[in-house]
Structure 1
Amino acid sequence: MLNGVIGELLPAALAVALSPVPVVAVVSVLGGRGARTSGLAFACGWIAGLLAIGVAVELLVDSFSDPGEDDPGLIWWKVAIGILFLVLAAKQWTKRPESGEQPREPGWMATLDGAGPVRAVALGAMLSAANPKNLALTVTAGASIAEAGLDATGTALSLAVFAAVGSITVAGPVLFHLVAGERAARPLAGVKRFMADNDAVIKTVVLLLLGAMLLGDGLAGL
């Protein structure tokens, strides 16, 4: 059963990981002063945000549902979120920059290269837990874990796998910078530029695929 639950969580975790904004943000933090400390703080904040939401939802759902049985609330949640993601995918596609047009970077992003550890950890937690897409995915993951009726070890492992996979694109650059030092600057800058330039396309594809998956899972459970 544990393998099945983890397999069910992987698409949502990968969708969390494939978020251009936190990748651009963490690379910006790594390009500033105190990069190692602030980079680690950002990654820790990101992971803590995912785990906090996942644990809270798992405990809440577990207290109001029968483990091992399909929860109608979760089924309708998947249908609603699936439809919402499909709508957001269409909206994101219409907002993509025209050919040759440079995407506009949020004003707060320009200040990240000077972020200290406290601000970095807060930004990491905010981008993981307060981002609407990530929040919806983490809530779905936590509810699915609770519905599976796993023991404490299985629940902890499932949440850990979800957080680990969802953090690959944030923790990866930090670890690369720790190992490679200044040599990491150029490739990380390339990753940042690619993610920023293709932000709309990446978001559209992720939302489209995930919306179709959640809607299909929800409809199959009705």
Structure 2
Amino acid sequence: MGTAIGDILPLALGVAISPIPIIAAILMLLTPKAGSTATSFAVGWVLGIAVGYAVFVAIASAVDLSAGDGGNATTATVKIVLGVALLGLAVKQWRGRPRPGEEPTMPGWLAAIDKVTPGKALGLGFALSAVNPKNLLMIVGAAVAVAQLGVSGGTLVVTGIVFTVLAASTVAVPVIAYFAARERATAWLQDLKAWLTANNAAVMATLLLVIGVVMIGKGLGGY
């Protein structure tokens, strides 16, 4: 189990460090409907990660990536492909970063976040975690890494819980902090939003570069 959890930790971190969803959660917490919309968004985020992990683990296990040299070679190839895709996303993020003195460009839907209903917030959280290309690559990578080990069903479940908790933590923590200490958390959330908005592209590019290189290295080591 220790090996499985160790393999998914960097990928869970890759999902967790997602500035746009964190900014969306913070903006919801600063609206009159903070309680219902932000909570629904966090629930959708968690569900998206958990469902994505379960689906891809089931697929990876069905393919039997742990079976002999063929399975190892297939897994290695998948890791290299995922690593290259992450490097491509890293380059895209870096090239799209704002120049000095330039205002960062954020998704248009963030401007209308105060009009989001709890139901839409739930769907938005699910989509951002399970459909986002960067997160999909991380979730697929985690599923492949665990399936390759040929671990028991119990280990798959525990690893999935650890992956989901870590990956969802950065969206869940602001929500929990808001309800635990609303007045003190508001100022902290404003500062965090400003920092993430200014550094979104650089943070994502660095993260994707590091994890992409790690994935390629593990893939090459699997042949």
Deviates more, 1:138-147 or 1:159-168: 138-147
Tell me if 1:98 matches 2:106.
Answer: no
Give per-residue Cα distances to partners, 1:39-83, cap 9 Å, x unaligned.
Answer: 111111001001111101111121221647544332111101211
Aligned residue number for residue 179 of structure 2:
178
Contact 1:82 1:211 in 2 (8 A): yes
- Letter of the structure 1 residue corresponding to residue 101 of structure 2: G
Query: Any unmatched runs of 5+ in structure 2?
Result: none
Spell out, residue by residue over 1:101-126, the C-alpha distance to the aligned partner (whole angstroms, 9 max, x if none): 11012110111123221111101000
TM-score computed with the length of structure 1 as normaliser: 0.95
Matched positions, count: 221
CA distance in 1, matches of 2:66, 2:100: 51
RMSD across aligned positions (CA): 1.4
- 1:140 matched to 2:141: yes
Q: Is contact 1:29-1:114 (8 Å) kept?
A: no
Counterpart in the other structure of 2:19: 20
8 Å CA contact retained: 1:17, 1:168: yes
**TM norm structure 2:** 0.94
> Matched residues in 1 for 2:151 and 2:169: separation?
25
Matching residue of 1:38: 37
Do the aligned partners of 2:9 and 2:163 also contact (CA within 8 Å) in 1?
Answer: yes
Inter-partner Cα distance in structure 2 for 1:86 and 1:26: 27
% identity of equivalent residues: 34
Offset, 1:207: 0.9
Alignment gaps of 5+ in structure 1 = none
Q: Give, as a single letter, the amino acid of the residue that structure 2 aligns with 1:64.
A: V
Q: Deviations over 1:150-201 (max 9, x none)?
A: 2222111100100111011100001001101233211101111100100111
Q: 2:28 maps to what in 1?
A: 29
* Structure 2 residue 164 is matched with structure 1 residue 158: no
